[in-house]
């Protein structure tokens, strides 16, 4: 069996790597957080001291990293993955990054005879825990076939969106809607709270009309509306993604005024100290700013 490298064991990467290990894949792993590496070592994975070591010991490497700059450094840096990967190997980046970063990394990989797949992740951290992630994949049919068994071990929904770069661009479109809906929901429920409406009845109405959306019906009742704002996907990361979205749209000459407004709302929440909380906590940030009691479902 080929050894799979995994770099980036954060809130999403750690459960994904864990699911691979539990399903029989042989892994060598690295993260700057030694505790995360130790958790994977307990699942019979080998810990590595650097991304370079991961690349040297693996047939293919999966990365799940926080932003474009880190991906570029880890993959294409002078002592990064491509500098130590075997010719004929493959890199699959599951991070949410700019299209320009994906294109540049893919080009650098091709120049070294190494395949590249972009496969950013849909759904939330709790889905990753259960092996129920959704993947948006960009790559050649041959490279897609090569990574599909790993994706099937980490998730239950896989979309091959097209050539390299298609996954990253699809993820930005998806996150545009998902994150902007958090701001819309926050404003609507804060207004409901100010009006003195009963929350469960308001939600019953919204769930029965075209106003319903996945954040409001699936995510929020399990997070902020029950008082849990522990981070699955933080306001800081949501702001990062909105910045990628607005910048990519500007580069493509597509106006996104709602995206720009949502980004500034997330900026305000970060400035008020909410950046490390789950992105559903946008409603708490708004209620705090307006002097309204936090919106909660009574159990």
How many other CB atoms are found less than 10 A from the CB of residue 278?
A: 24
- Phi, psi angle pair for 197, to nearest 5°: -75, 155
Query: 33 with 253: CB under 8 angstroms?
Result: no
Residue of 171, 223, 226, 253 marked active site: 171
E strands of the chain, at which residues?
3-7, 26-30, 46-47, 60-63, 90-93, 115-118, 121-122, 133-138, 155-162
Torsion of CA 19, 115, 67, 44, to 10 degrees: 30
Question: Does residue 118 sit in helix, strand or coil?
Answer: strand
Instruction: Look up residue 293 and give its two tokens.
Output: 């009691």
User: Quick one: residue 143, left, alpha or beta (phi over 0 = left, psi -120 to 50 = alpha)?
Assistant: alpha
How many residues make up the chain in this entry? Answer: 299
Distance CA 239, CA 216 (A): 19
Query: 59 with 1: CB under 8 angstroms?
Result: no
Nearest alpha carbon to residue 166 among 248, 114, 102: 102
- Give catalytic status of residue 171 as yes or no: yes
Query: 275 with 235: CB under 8 angstroms?
Result: yes
Query: 247 with 97: CB under 8 angstroms?
Result: no
Q: Are strands 46-47 and 26-30 parallel, antiparallel or unpaired?
A: parallel
Torsion of CA 56, 59, 62, 65, to 10 degrees: 10
Query: Which residue numbers are catalytic?
Result: 171
């Amino acid at each position: 069996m080929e050894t799979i490298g995994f770099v980036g064991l954060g809130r999403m990467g750690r459960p994904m790597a864990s699911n691979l290990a539990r399903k029989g894949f042989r892994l060598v792993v690295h993260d700057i957080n030694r505790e995360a590496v130790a958790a994977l070592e307990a699942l019979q994975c080998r810990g590595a001291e650097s991304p370079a070591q991961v690349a040297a010991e693996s047939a293919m490497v999966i990365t799940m990293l926080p932003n474009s700059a880190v991906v570029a450094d880890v993959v294409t840096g002078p002592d990064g993955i491509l500098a130590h990967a075997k010719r004929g190997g493959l890199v699959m980046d599951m991070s949410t990054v700019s299209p320009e970063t994906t294109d540049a990394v893919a080009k650098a990989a091709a120049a070294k005879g190494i395949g590249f797949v972009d496969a950013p992740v849909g759904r939330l951290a709790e889905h990753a825990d259960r092996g129920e992630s959704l993947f948006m994949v960009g790559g050649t049919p041959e490279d897609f076939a090569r990574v599909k068994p790993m994706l099937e071990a980490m998730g239950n929904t896989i979309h091959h969106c097209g050539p390299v770069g298609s996954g990253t661009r699809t993820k930005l479109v998806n996150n545009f809607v998902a994150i902007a809906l958090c701001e819309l929901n926050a404003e609507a429920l804060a207004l409901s709270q100010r009006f003195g409406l009963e929350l469960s009845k308001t939600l019953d109405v919204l769930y029965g009309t075209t106003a319903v959306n996945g954040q409001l019906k699936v995510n929020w009742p399990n997070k902020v509306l029950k008082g849990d704002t522990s981070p699955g996907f933080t306001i800081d990361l949501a702001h990062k993604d909105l910045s990628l979205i607005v910048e990519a749209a500007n580069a493509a000459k597509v106006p996104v005024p709602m995206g720009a407004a949502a980004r500034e709302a997330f900026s305000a929440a970060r400035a008020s100290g909410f950046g490390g909380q789950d992105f559903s906590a946008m409603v708490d940030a708004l209620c705090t700013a307006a002097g309204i009691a936090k919106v909660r479902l009574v159990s």
